[in-house]
Structure 1
Amino acid sequence: MRKILFMSMLAGSVAMSGMAQTKTGSLGANDPKAKVILDNVSKKFSTFKTVVANFVLKVEGGNNSVTDSKKGTVYVKGSKYKVNLEGQEIISDNKTSWTYQKDANEVTINNVDQGSTQLTPAKLFTNFYDKDYLYRLDAETTEKGKVYQNIEMTPTDKSKNVFKVIVSIDKKNQNISRMKMFEKNGNRYTYEITNFTPNTNLTDATFSFDPKKYPGVEVVDLR
């Protein structure tokens, strides 16, 4: 669940990688060229009141084989978010979080830890990268005539299971298009955005869990 929550909400348009070029920068210190790109993306996203994005999650094992593929949708409004993934919903109003498992008809409720460094959809609209990651500009890649800027990020907290994240950005539109997460156990999680719509009308009710809409739901309240 935390993997999904961590990954699910990079917003942008679809991208695929192409031919690699020479790497620049160093993960020992933040790359100023990468910072300019990330700042521009953050500034653009900060102008959106809401975001709705459809995505595809691909899970790969250590042998590069795709072991799972799921479609999902993310809704973001300020610090609130909702993630719909096949068989699962993750909802947060920035005070309370709900994780609903469809097959078990069970919802787990937690308080939101305001001091947590965990990457949430809402944080993707800020300069979260300046605090929790080291980053460098990697090779530009090309897919179907589009150029993508790739930024390699490593968590400053080396105890995390994730040791590397590669973010791909559409150079022309300055939209985050894809993110690939690498875990120490060899697993990789890739999120590709298939549709991105800013400033959709989303009510606050979108970001809370109403048990009346889920007959017989089992509630596990961990607050």
Structure 2
Amino acid sequence: MKSLIVLISTFFIATISFSQQNDPAAKKVLDGVSAKFKTFKAVQAAFTLRQEDAKGGLLGTKKGTVSLKGSRYRVSIAGTGQEIFCDGTNIWTYDKSANEVTITKPDPSASTISMQKIFTSFYDKDFLYKLNGDKVVNKKTLQEIEMTPTDKNKPFHKVYVLVDKKSQTINSTRILDKSGNVMVYTINTMNGNANIPDNQFVFDKAKFPGVEVVDLR
């Protein structure tokens, strides 16, 4: 579970070598998503995480919420007792079962997909990408972008992003890791004009009596 919570927070994405540059049609779609996200004041979203094995078998599903405001974020996953706070300078990962919080610093070179990256222009530097075309899901027209990390040391080898063609927002992200497992994040609701006070992104020790603090900064 610890690896799951780290993947989500440091997040809400067979290796192929492309002989040509990135697909301009895919870049146009991704640029549209990035531009739309930048118009949001602050974001609150509810998501579902589906975990599958290499054969497509369901390993489990979890629901969660994420709040985003600039470089700050907060993630909660229902039923796990785990929550992540990030004020842009520090990251607090809280484990309710142990009543323990671990404090770390954001790592821009981390091998996982961060919450900010998944909504913004991370793709130009970190991935090769192409547009696979449109598909209709639940009466929505979605555009599928297939992405391959340029860094072969990443723990995942493929990411598929489905973009809502009408709203220019991400509908879901499917991440294939090198162990054969698959994680699918589906965004159920999104409010781009949420009113979120800055203190919501800071872990308040006073609200967690007896909490053990592990400071790894």
- Identical aligned residues as a percent: 47
Task: Show the counterpart of 1:68.
Answer: 60
**1:101 aligned to 2:95?**
yes
Q: In structure 2, which of residues 48, 67, 84 is the aligned counterpart of residue 90 of structure 1? A: 84
Deviation of 1:79 after TM superposition, in Å, equals: 0.8
| Counterpart Cα distance in 1 of 2:109 and 2:138 | 42
Q: Is the 2:104–2:216 contact (alpha carbons within 8 Å) kept by the matching residues of 1?
A: yes
Equivalences, count: 207
Change (3 A) 1:145 1:115: closer
**1:40 aligned to 2:32?**
yes
Q: Is the 1:150–1:166 contact (alpha carbons within 8 Å) kept by the matching residues of 2?
A: yes
| Counterpart Cα distance in 2 of 1:94 and 1:60 | 31
**1:3 aligned to 2:7?**
yes
Instruction: State the SS of the aligned residue for 1:34.
Output: helix
| Counterpart Cα distance in 2 of 1:193 and 1:27 | 29
Residue type of the partner of 2:117? K
Runs ≥4 residues deviating over 4 A:
114-118
Deviation of 1:5 after TM superposition, in Å, equals: 2.1
Deviation of 1:213 after TM superposition, in Å, equals: 0.7
Change (3 A) 1:6 1:95: closer
| Counterpart Cα distance in 1 of 2:174 and 2:112 | 16
Residue type of the partner of 1:137? L
Residue type of the partner of 2:59? T
Change (3 A) 1:192 1:114: closer
| Counterpart Cα distance in 1 of 2:83 and 2:110 | 21
TM-score normalised by L of structure 1: 0.87
Deviations 1:15-53 (A, max 9, x none): xxxxxxxxxxx8443111000000011001101110000
Residue type of the partner of 1:111? K
| Counterpart Cα distance in 1 of 2:111 and 2:158 | 16
Residue type of the partner of 1:147? T
Q: Is the 2:112–2:154 contact (alpha carbons within 8 Å) kept by the matching residues of 1?
A: no
Q: In structure 1, which of residues 165, 173, 181 is the aligned counterpart of residue 167 of structure 2? A: 173
Q: Is the 2:7–2:112 contact (alpha carbons within 8 Å) kept by the matching residues of 1?
A: no
**1:213 aligned to 2:207?**
yes
Residue type of the partner of 2:190? F
**What aligned pairs does 1:114-129 form with structure 2 within 5 A after superposition?**
114=108, 116=110, 118-129=112-123
Task: Show the counterpart of 1:146.
Answer: 140
Instruction: State the SS of the aligned residue for 2:34.
Output: helix
Task: Show the counterpart of 1:31.
Answer: 23
Residue type of the partner of 2:210? G
Task: Show the counterpart of 2:179.
Answer: 185
TM-score normalised by L of structure 2: 0.90
| Counterpart Cα distance in 1 of 2:97 and 2:34 | 36
Gaps of 5+ in 1: 11-25
Gaps of 5+ in 2: none
Instruction: State the SS of the aligned residue for 2:175.
Output: strand
Instruction: Please provide the CA RMSD for this pair.
Output: 1.7
Deviations 1:152-196 (A, max 9, x none): 111111011100000001111111100000011110000111111
| Counterpart Cα distance in 2 of 1:213 and 1:65 | 39
| Counterpart Cα distance in 2 of 1:146 and 1:113 | 36
Higher RCO (CA 8 Å, separation ≥ 6 residues): 1
